[in-house]
Amino acid sequence: MRLFWTFLILVQISFLVWAVLKPFNAAGGPFRHDERLAALKAMGDYPSPETKAALQRELQLNADHIIHQQLAEVGIWIVLFIVVDVAGYHGWRNFKQNYAIKSSSA
């Protein structure tokens, strides 16, 4: 049974790594879409260091927003996995005690 719990935790960790390392497009997404579009249009119409800085700031704000969303999602998954693991282990231990399942080596 120890192998099962080890395998389960490894699967959960690999899922969390996949969730954290998902690629994202800093130019896409609904967060501040209109402001980002206006900065992109201004950069195309009037290229200057100010418009370039405004566009980079909008892209950075969107990237920060996406990263915060991903971290919140991972935090929720971690809490969920911990609750499921603890409840599963507790249930398995109680089941073993209540039904007196003994190993076959005795």
pLDDT, tens digit, for every residue of 33-70?
A: 899 899 999 999 999 999 999 999 999 998 899 889 88
pLDDT by residue (tens digit) across 11-25? Answer: 988 888 887 777 777
Has residue 42 been placed in a domain? Answer: yes
Distances 58 to 28, 45, 53, 67 between C-alpha atoms, Å: 11, 17, 9, 14
Across all residues in the chain, what is the average pLDDT? Answer: 84
Mean pLDDT comparison of 24-38, 59-73, 91-105, highest-scoring range = 59-73
The pTM score is 0.67
> Where in the sequence is the domain holding 91, given as residue range(s)?
8-98
Has residue 51 been placed in a domain? Answer: yes
Has residue 69 been placed in a domain? Answer: yes
Distances 51 to 25, 43, 60, 97, 99 between C-alpha atoms, Å: 20, 5, 14, 69, 71
Has residue 45 been placed in a domain? Answer: yes
Has residue 3 been placed in a domain? Answer: no
Query: How many domains is the chain built from?
Result: 1
Has residue 13 been placed in a domain? Answer: yes
